[in-house]
Structure 1
Amino acid sequence: MKTQPDYSTNKILAASCLAAVLGLAACQPEGQAEKAGKKVDKAIENVGQKIDQTTEKTEQKIEAAKESVEQQSEKAGASIDKAAESSNDALEKAKKQIDQAISNSEKRVDAAKDSVVDTSKATGEYLDDSMITTKIKATLLADDFLKLAPIDVTTVNGIVKLSGAVDSEQLVGRAIGLANSQEHVKSVQNELRVKTSVPSKQ
């Protein structure tokens, strides 16, 4: 919006000058009055030109100020947009880092769970194998025919291995049968051998 300059002061000044010149002209002879009139016209013309120049300069300053304000507003808007974009990028980056950290934590938890399950399973199998071995040994010691036989018993994952020496094939079969009858036994590996009889000297 353009601000119109205040012409009232300039008009009063021009009127005062005109009155002064006319007053002087009235005191002069008639030839002098014509000269005074020309001076008055010239003075009014100069005042008008000065008013026009002042008005033009004022309008130029107002336009320049408006342009400066618009440029500063555009710069401020661009800075705000850039700051907002930078903040969004930072938030997006932080979100990705948080998601990655959560994913890594979940993987670690899953790995720890698997490790605990594997350990528990291995421990359970070890306990089962120990129990199987203990029961078979107790059963062999309780048997009237095998209690004195030196039979070794080992168990791995439910698979029992019998080793040692017995007096006959029948005792080998009896030992295998007793081992197979125990709970949780998957199979029996026979490494028992029959003792060779030494002929007695006569």
Structure 2
Amino acid sequence: MKHTAATLALSGLLAFTAAGCAITRDQSTVGEYVDDATITTRVKAKFAEDPAVSAMAINVETLRGTVQLSGFAKSAAEKNQAEKIARGTPGVKGVKNDVVVRP
């Protein structure tokens, strides 16, 4: 019995410690994380549908509704189209376009 109680106490302590570390200043809440993941998925799906944008060459990351684009585009037109798509995606608050044009 003591072994089981000790195991449960340790498990509870580890869960409490892990949960305590999960939410600190400057980190997203669970809801924000889910929203950001949804936005990222939507932007990537729109990239895949657009023949002018290479979904494989442009990376998408979202934090608190701001989408960051990175990677490489074959032209300024592709870079601009990627930004336009991202800005037109529901839930996007802002776009940081760090895509580099490399022919």
So what's the TM-score if we normalise by structure 1? 0.37
How many percent of aligned residue pairs carry the same amino acid? 35
In the TM superposition, what is the alpha-carbon distance from 1:148 to its structure 2 partner? 5.4
In the TM superposition, what is the alpha-carbon distance from 1:145 to its structure 2 partner? 1.3
Question: Which of 43, 47, 59 is equivalent to 1:140?
Answer: 47
The residue type paired with residue 191 of structure 1 is: D
Question: Which of 140, 146, 166 is equivalent to 2:73?
Answer: 166
- Secondary structure of 1:160's match? strand
- Greater per-residue strand proportion: 2
Question: Which of 81, 86, 89 is equivalent to 1:179?
Answer: 86
In the TM superposition, what is the alpha-carbon distance from 1:146 to its structure 2 partner? 1.1
* Aligned mates of 1:141, 1:193 — CA distance in 2: 19
- Secondary structure of 1:144's match? coil
Deviations 1:26-82 (A, max 9, x none): xxxxxxxxxxxxxxxxxxxxxxxxxxxxxxxxxxxxxxxxxxxxxxxxxxxxxxxxx
Q: Size of the alignment, in residue pairs?
A: 79
User: Which segments of 5 or more consecutive residues in structure 1 lack a partner in the other structure?
Assistant: 1-117, 197-202
* Aligned mates of 1:148, 1:130 — CA distance in 2: 16
User: Which segments of 5 or more consecutive residues in structure 2 lack a partner in the other structure?
Assistant: 1-22
Matched with 1:67 is none
Please identify the structure whose Cα radius of gyration is greater: 1
Divergent runs of 4+, >6 A: none
Over the aligned positions, Cα root-mean-square deviation in angstroms equals 2.1
Question: Which of 19, 34, 39 is equivalent to 1:127?
Answer: 34
The residue type paired with residue 51 of structure 2 is: D
- Greater per-residue helix proportion: 1
State the structure with bigger RCO (CA 8 A, min sep 6), 1 or 2: 2
- Counterpart check, 1:156 vs 2:63: yes
